[in-house]
Amino acid sequence: SAVISQKPSRDICQRGTSLTIQCQVDSQVTMMFWYRQQPGQSLTLIATANQGSEATYESGFVIDKFPISRPNLTFSTLTVSNMSPEDSSIYLCSGKDRGRQETQYFGPGTRLLVL
């Protein structure tokens, strides 16, 4: 199975600032995703990170607020821009294993608190 790491693991930020979250996978994955998990809730897909091109965003999420990069097969970043307290969530990176494409593995998450 793919091993996925994220940095930072948690952060406390001031409103109006931006935070970039990094996701590193230890092996090649076919697809990478970014999810948001608001307090006490389930996971919501933000976008699919596409290698070398613009991410594909889900309804309700826009590139200006959540710019995403994926420069190669094993690395992606998510930026939460111009943060407000409503952005306080856990942000999780995930990837589909190249060998078992039906299976999605998740990173440990980044816990963000915006004051």
Partner 1 sequence: AQSVTQLGSHVSVSEGALVLLRCNYSSSVPPYLFWYVQYPNQGLQLLLKYTSAATLVKGINGFEAEFKKSETSFHLTKPSAHMSDAAEYFCAVSLNAGNMLTFGGGTRLMVKP
Q: Where does this chain bind partner 1 (CB under 8 A)?
A: 1, 4, 6, 31, 33, 41-43, 45, 48, 92, 94, 96, 101-109, 111
Shortest approach of partner 1 to residue 1 CB, angstroms?
8
Nearer to partner 1, 11 or 81 (CB): 11
- Bridge partners (DSSP) of residue 32 are 49, 95
Shortest approach of partner 1 to residue 39 CB, angstroms?
12
Nearer to partner 1, 75 or 105 (CB): 105
Residue type for position 56: T
Whole-number Cα distances in Å, 43 to 36, 102, 115? 6, 18, 22
* Helix (H/G/I), strand (E/B), else coil: 35: strand
Phi-psi region of 73 (alpha: psi -120 to 50; beta: other; left: phi over 0): alpha
- Bridge partners (DSSP) of residue 103 are none
Shortest approach of partner 1 to residue 87 CB, angstroms?
19
Nearer to partner 1, 3 or 16 (CB): 3
Nearer to partner 1, 15 or 98 (CB): 98
Shortest approach of partner 1 to residue 16 CB, angstroms?
27
CA atoms within 13 A on the CB side of 73: 9
